[in-house]
Amino acid sequence: MKNTLLATKRLALSESGFVFDPVSGQSFSVNDTGLVILRLAQHQDDIEQLIEQLLEQFDASSVEIKRDVQDFIHRLQGFLK
Amino acid sequence: MSITVAVTGMNARADNPGPGLAIARCLKESATPMRVVGLGYEALDPALYHRGFVDRGYLLPYPSHGEDALLARIIELHEREKFEVLIPCLDAEMQSFARLAPTLLGMGIRTFVPNSHQLALRSKDRLPELAKEIGVASPKTQAIYQANFFHSCKTEDWQYPLMVKGLFYDAKLAYNADEAVAAFHRIAGEWGVPVLAQSWIGGEEINLAGVGDGEGGLAGAVMMKKRALTDKGKGWAGISIHDDELLAAAHRFCAVTKWRGGLELEMLRDTQGGLHLIEINPRFPAWIYLSAGVGCNLPELLVRLALGQKLVPTAPTPAGVLFIRYAEEAIVSLADFENITVWGETLRTEGAFA
């Protein structure tokens, strides 16, 4: 999970949510929430701090946000090999 | 003043194109004006007729006619066209051009090709040995002379699926012994033996095209991930990438072999992130036009090296530039078709049918 978080730093992100990985050559799209997570992740190495930043932006419990972030990062792994 | 460059590999067929047309296109877009002479083997090699990229087209004798016939034809064409550089780009002809390179140089035709020893080092049946030397993994590979191997190979620690490959061309993923035997006979029938068995590794293929400067350096490189394949598994669309490990492997390959000329590294990144060397082609790939597309025109670089010109270090190429191929019909007059079929050249006469 830590490695995936590090790998987000290399991603090219567009306003539309189109994402390109310059290392794997993979591209995919994320929704608005996914884009917020990726933008924060590009400046954050610690997943707990990332979750705290998301807590400030979204009206959801820390349990929900933690679960969603873990799920999101897990799915992201498939694209960033 | 333009430079006359002869380029082979005019077989720009839609499902499995030779690299010649893409090389010609790169040369036409280079900073120095270039006149491109296309050298094909068949009257229906499409690139012979592409007037935008290929100024004149000629047929060469088939490789089975031997090197003397090939040399005689090149001497004949050189008298008329005055080639300054010749870029061979088909696997099956590389050994011949490697052997002929000193003779061609004596005639004033510069090539920038690996020698026979370098070609042998990257031969598919010696890949694991070379991979070890350049510090990357590679799938288990074995030269196979008898189809029976595929029925007994499980006892020798092989598993299905596995790849069945020709020494020069062609590859088939076989899921069982019957498929492997069928692939063996088809490939052996077309390209001869040995046929290679290679263990299959799941993952994503990534490729690098480059030019070795002959002194252990990599003069330029472009990396690409295929995004769409033809039925024959050839790239139909791809996107430029930047992978430091792949680039480092290419640098090590050039350092170890002192590679001279165009090359393509085919690597596979497995699901755990490991890098495996699948194949090294001793020439530019058919997707080489992407190099011009990302601002690192590798065929132009090769011509400059062949002419002994000083190179400016190439800038890193951008990732995220996509190529997509399309098929296009060339309209050919009966006179042109007659000229190629009867005389082995385009534009010899205006034609009896004009």
The answer, yes or no, to whether residue B352 has pLDDT greater than 60, is no
The answer, yes or no, to whether residue B344 has pLDDT greater than 60, is yes
Provide the residue count of chain A. Answer: 81
pLDDT (0 to 100) of residue B348: 54
Residue B271: which of A12, A27, A81 has the nearest Cβ? A81
B191 or B274, higher pLDDT: B274
Mean pLDDT of B87-112: 96
Evaluate whether B303 touches B85 at the Cβ level (below 8 Å). Answer: yes
Binding-face residues of A in 13-72 toward B, CB within 8 A: 20, 22-27
The answer, yes or no, to whether residue B278 has pLDDT greater than 90, is yes
- Residue B271's region, left for phi above 0, alpha for psi from -120 to 50, else beta, is alpha
Q: What are phi and psi of B286, to 5 degrees?
A: -65, -20
**Are the beta carbons of B319 and A22 separated by less than 8 Å?**
yes
pLDDT (0 to 100) of residue B253: 97
- 3-state DSSP assignment of residue B278: strand
Q: List the structure tokens of A16.
A: 């539309």
Cα–Cα distance list, B237 to B47, B50, B178, B205, B224 (Å): 20, 21, 32, 13, 10
Mean pLDDT of B312-319: 87
Evaluate whether B133 touches B126 at the Cβ level (below 8 Å). Answer: no
Round to whole Å and give the CA distance between B89 and B114: 12
Mean pLDDT of B122-150: 91
The runs of H, that is alpha helices, within chain B are 20-28, 67-81, 91-106, 116-121, 127-133, 149-152, 177-191, 244-257, 289-293, 298-306, 334-338
Mean of pLDDT over chain B: 92
Percent of chain B with pLDDT over 90: 78
Query: HEC profile for chain A?
Result: CHHHHHHHHHCEECCCCEEECCCCCCEEECCHHHHHHHHHHCCCCCHHHHHHHHHHHCCCCHHHHHHHHHHHHHHHHCCCC
Bond from prior residue into B282 cis (ω within 30 degrees of 0): no
The answer, yes or no, to whether residue B249 has pLDDT greater than 80, is yes
Give yes or no for B204 touching A (CB within 8 A). yes
Round to whole Å and give the CA distance between B14 and B319: 26
Q: Spell out, as residue ranges, where chain A has pLDDT lower than 50.
A: none
Q: Of B229, B239, B272, B324, which to mutate for an interface test with A (greatest number of A Cβ within 10 Å)?
A: B239
B191 or B176, higher pLDDT: B176
The answer, yes or no, to whether residue B354 has pLDDT greater than 50, is no
Q: List the structure tokens of A81.
A: 């090999």
Give residue-wise pLDDT tens across range B219-229: 999 999 999 99
Q: At residue B287, what is the residue type?
A: W
Mean pLDDT of B253-271: 95
B64 or B131, higher pLDDT: B131
Q: List the structure tokens of B221.
A: 């490189």
pLDDT (0 to 100) of residue A37: 95
Q: What does the DSSP 8-state code read for residue B345?
A: B
**Are the beta carbons of A81 and B273 separated by less than 8 Å?**
yes
Write out chain A residues lying below 8 Å of B319, CB-based.
12, 20, 22-23, 25
Reported pTM:
0.89
The answer, yes or no, to whether residue B193 has pLDDT greater than 70, is yes
The answer, yes or no, to whether residue B218 has pLDDT greater than 60, is yes
B9 pLDDT band (50/70/90 cuts)? very high
Percent of chain B with pLDDT over 70: 98
User: What strands, in cross-sheet order, belong to the sheet with A12-13?
Assistant: A12-13, A18-20, A27-29
Distance from CA of A28 to the nearest CA of B (A): 13
B351 pLDDT band (50/70/90 cuts)? very low
User: What strands, in cross-sheet order, belong to the sheet with B322-324?
Assistant: B275-281, B260-270, B203-213, B218-229, B235-241, B322-324
**Are the beta carbons of A81 and B238 separated by less than 8 Å?**
no
B167 pLDDT band (50/70/90 cuts)? confident
pLDDT (0 to 100) of residue A81: 67
Q: List the structure tokens of B191.
A: 């390209």
Nearest to B37 by CA among B91, B94, B80, B93: B80
Instruction: Provide the ipTM.
Output: 0.79
Residue A23: which of B203, B238, B243 has the nearest Cβ? B243
